[in-house]
Amino acid sequence: MELGLKGKRVIIPASTKGILRRVVDQLIDEGCDVAICSRSEDTVARTLRELSGGKGSAIGRACDVNDKSDYEAWLEEMVEQLGGVDIFIPGVSAGGGADSERNWWKSFEVDVLSTVRGCEVVIPHMRESGGGAITFITTTASVETFGGPQAYNAMKGSLLVYAKQLSQEVGRDGIRVNCVSPGPIYFEGGVWQMLKDTMAKWFAKVEKDHPSGRLGTPEEVSNCVLFLSSPAASWVSGTNLIVDGGFTKRVQF
């Protein structure tokens, strides 16, 4: 299938590792021009070197998405350098944790506010150019109980509501808004590796309970993100795509 991504201008915050890094890799392979960031200038520089020489190009600089002025300035800089924006993929997260009120504030500021701020910056540019696609990275923990009550689950759940409402508002501008909700995804340096190292018995139970007997990979999520973000999914908006290998137990009507 031809996704029609070649030449698309893409902005992906906090995308130097994990699922979002795999999304960047695949977009470069498709011939996209991609803007990335991380809080570390060294990390950004290393990632840009690794991405050089592909079919597409990569730009970026260090940026703290939790710093409103810095984040909004980075977004505007990336739009200017790319010559516009066709695709925006916000997926940054403060992670889990249920030990204090601090986690709720952090998850709200990082997961929710950075996504809202990002959309408010890029949507006017998309309207000006005639449309675009916005794909949120959320989680299956926001659609059924998992891991106990915590800010991560609730805040990601609020993004599902925001995405649906936003899709209705900007649809007439040719802008599609969707979500991709991964189940447990394992990669080196990720949360699930940490859980494997620190909570081995619980990790083994999750793995055993999975219908496939394993956790997912970043590429298995990235494939779905690319499709929903591409012109090939031109008639898909306002949806939440569950990418979990059948891990969730709910019936999805």
* Segment 142-181, tens digit of pLDDT: 998 877 788 999 999 999 999 999 999 999 999 999 999 9
Mean pLDDT of 117-141: 97
Q: Kindly state the percentage of the chain with pLDDT values over 90.
A: 80
Top pLDDT among 224 and 205 is at 224
pLDDT score recorded for residue 98: 65
* Segment 51-62, tens digit of pLDDT: 999 999 999 999
68-74, Cβ contacts within 8 angstroms, sequence gap of 24 or more: 68/113, 68/117, 71/13, 71/114, 71/117, 71/118, 72/117, 72/121, 74/13, 74/37
pLDDT for 100 beyond 70: yes
Top pLDDT among 97 and 34 is at 34
Q: Are 33 and 8 in contact (CB under 8 A)?
A: yes
- Lowest mean pLDDT: which of 26-40, 187-201, 233-247? 187-201
pLDDT for 102 beyond 90: no
CATH number of 9-188+218-241: 3.40.50.720
